[in-house]
Structure 1
Amino acid sequence: MSATHAGVAADLAANFPKCPVAGPGAATVLLADDEALTRTVDRTWKLAMSLPPTPLVAFEAAVAGLPQTTEAERLVVQRIGQDKFRDALMFYWSGRCPMTGITDPALLRASHIIPWAACATDAERLDASNGLLLSSLWDAAFDAGLVAFEDDGRPIPSARLTPKAAEALGIASARPIPGLTPGHRARLAVHRAKTFQGVAP
C-alpha cells in the first residue's frame, strides 16, 4: 500500500514493514492480509480527513466571504473552526476517548492542548496534533491543569486534584494515551509548563 499524504505516509511507515518494491507514494508498506488491508484503508482515510491541510481547507471554505468585523461575527467564525477541529479529532481518534473508551459523541470533547486563543495561526488551531478527544470529565481536568500527560501518554495528576476526582477519573488504573506523535508531545510539554498545576512535592 502506498500513500502520498505526508501525515498518512509517516503513520504507515511507523507501523508497517517497508515494501521492498518502490511505490508511487511517500511511503509504501507491506500488509499481511486482507484484514490488515481493510483496517489500514479505514485508518488511512480517517488520517487523511484529520491531518493537515484537510481541516484548514474545510474551515477556509466554510468561512470564505463571512464578515469578521464585529465580535459577534468573529465568534461565529471561531465556532465554525471549533466544529471543524472536533470533526478532525473524531476522525483521528476514531470517535473514542483514549482514556475511557467512551464513544458517545455527546460525552466527548475536542480538547486543545495549546488553547485556541494562544495559537498563532488557524493552521495551528485546526491541527489534530494540537488536540485530544477526551470524555467530558477528562477534558475539564486537562483544561483546568489538574491533569497533564507525559510524552509517553501517561497521565500526571496535579497536587490540586482531590482524591475523589482522581477516583472518578480512574487515574490509578489509567493507561497511557497510545499513538502520540512528535507534534502531540511537543504541545503536551507546553501544556505541562504553562497550564498544569504541578505534582505533589
Structure 2
Amino acid sequence: MTPDRLRSIVPMFGGGTSYIETLNAVLEFVASHNPTTDELVGWHRGTFDRVSSRDSILRRVSYLKQVGFIQQDGKRWVLGEAGREYVEDYDVETLLRIMCERNIGLRSLMYALAAGPMTIEEISGQQLDTHPELGWSRGETDMALQRVNWLRSMGLVEKQDGEYALTDAGHQFVDAAVAEWANTAWTPKGTDDAMMAGVYETTVQARSVDPEFRVTVLSRYNRTCPVSGVDHPGLLDVAHVLSWSDYPEHRADLSNVLPLSKTHHAAFDRALFTIDQEYRLRVNPSFETESEVLQRTILDQAGERVLIPDDSIAPAYLAQHNESLGWV
C-alpha cells in the first residue's frame, strides 16, 4: 500500500539554497557511523552554527525518516530505502523523484512556475488553491518558501528580482513529467477517485496525464468547464489547444490547456467549436444538434466570450489551432 504523501516539507539547516548539501552530509554521516539519536543530535550541533535545540533537530530527523532517507535499526540510525537509492550516485533526478513521490505539491508548483515567474505570496496561494489539504493559513508564506528552497537547492528554481522562476533544468523536468508521472497513485483529499484520472477517456481517444498537472489545471479554472459550466471534477478533462500528439513540447504548457467537460472536450477535438483569440466561442457552421445541452452550451453561445481566468490561454496558440480548421 502506498503511504500517504506528506503535507509538510521541512527545511534543512544551512540556509535556503543549501538543503541538498546538508541532506548529503547527514546521509554520509549516518552511512558511515550508524549513530544513536544522541550522536545524531550531537553531530548536528557540532556541524551547524546556532543549532542547539534538540526538538528542532529531531523534527528534521523525523522528516527524513518519513521520506525514507533514514530509519532506525534498534537504537541506531541507518540509511532507509530512499537514502540507499539516492547515495548510490547523488543524482538530482533521483532525489526529485523521491521528493515528489513522498510530498504533496512539488510537481504542481513546478507546473505553475512553467507558466511564468511568481512571488512567494502567489506560490502560497497556488499551493493552497491546488491542494487545500495542505491546510496552512491563507497569506502564510513560510511553508511555500520551504518548498521553493528545496527546488532551488536542486537547481530547478531560481530567484529573480523578488520572484521565483524555473531554470532550464526545471523546464526540462516539467516537459517530461506530464506524461511520465501519469500513473501516479495519488488522489487529492476530499475528492472522488475520478479527480485523479491519470488516464481519462474521451469519445476521441484515451491519454495519460500527471494527476498533479490535472489538478493544477482544474484549480486555475475553479474546477469548472468554462464553456458548459460543468463543475464535477470527475466529469472534466484536460483539453489541449495545440494537440497532445502533434505538439508534445506543449503538453505541460498551462497556456495551452483548459478544463472541458468530457462531451465538450470531444466536441472541441472534433472541431465542432473553437475559441478565437478574443476568447469568443466560434461554432462550426455545419454543426447541428437536437441535444438541448449542446444547443444551450454551444450553439446559443456562439460569439459570446468564454470566461478564461486571467487570459490563461495564449492567443497565439488559439490562432495556430484555428488556422487548421478552415471555417474560422
The answer to whether 1:185 aligns with 2:315 is: yes
TM-superposed CA distance for 1:157, in Å, is 0.3
User: Counterpart amino acid of 1:143?
Assistant: D
Report what 2:215 is aligned to: 87
The change in CA–CA distance for 1:190 and 1:155 in structure 2 (over 3 A counts) is same
Deviation of 1:193 after TM superposition, in Å, equals: 1.0
How far apart, CA to CA, are the structure 1 residues paired with 2:219 and 2:245? 23
Residue number in structure 1 paired with 2:299: 171
TM-score (norm 2): 0.38
From 174, 183, 188, the equivalent of 1:56 is 174
Identity %, equivalent residues: 24
Could you state the TM-score of these two structures normalised by the residue count of structure 1? 0.57
Tell me by how many angstroms 1:94 deviates: 2.2
Question: What is the deviation of 1:83?
Answer: 4.0
Could you tell me which residue of structure 1 aligns to residue 280 of structure 2? 154
Distance 1:160 1:84, change over 3 A: farther
Between 132-141 and 79-88, the greater mean CA deviation after superposition: 79-88
Q: How does 1:26-175 map to 2 (within 5 A)?
A: 42=125, 46=129, 56=174, 59=177, 80-81=208-209, 83-121=211-249, 124-164=250-290, 166-173=294-301, 175=305
One-letter amino acid matched to 2:295: E
Q: Match of 2:82? A: none
* 3-state SS of 1:7 partner: coil
Change (3 A) 1:106 1:146: same
2:229 and 2:238 mapped to 1: Cα distance?
A: 15
Rounded to whole Å, the distance in 2 between the matches of 1:135 and 1:126 is 19
Residues 57, 158 of structure 1: alpha-carbon distance in 2 compared, 3 angstrom cutoff:
closer
Give the paired residue count: 151
Unaligned runs of 5+ in 1: 10-24, 29-36, 64-75
* Alignment check: 8 A CA contact 2:285 2:327 kept: yes
Deviation at 1:190, TM superposition (A): 1.4
Q: For residues 159-197 of structure 1, what are the alpha-carbon distances to aligned partners after superposition, in whole Å with 9 as ceiling and x for unaligned?
A: 121043551534324542333647521111111111x35
| Structure 1 residue 198 corresponds to structure 2 residue 198 | no
Greater mean deviation of Cα atoms: 54-63 or 100-109: 54-63
Q: What RMSD over aligned residues (CA atoms) do the two structures have, in Å?
A: 3.9
Q: Contact conserved, 1:154 with 1:176, CA < 8 A, in 2? A: yes
1:43 deviates by 5.1
Q: Which residue of 1 aligns with 2:116?
A: 7
1:116 is paired with a residue of what secondary structure? coil
CA distance change for structure 1 residues 171 and 85 in 2, over 3 Å: closer, same or farther?
A: farther
The amino acid across from 1:188 in the alignment is L
Unpaired stretches in structure 2, ≥5 consecutive residues = 1-112, 131-143, 145-164, 182-198, 200-205
Q: Is the 8 A contact 2:241 2:317 kept in 1?
A: yes
Give the CA deviation at 1:153: 1.2
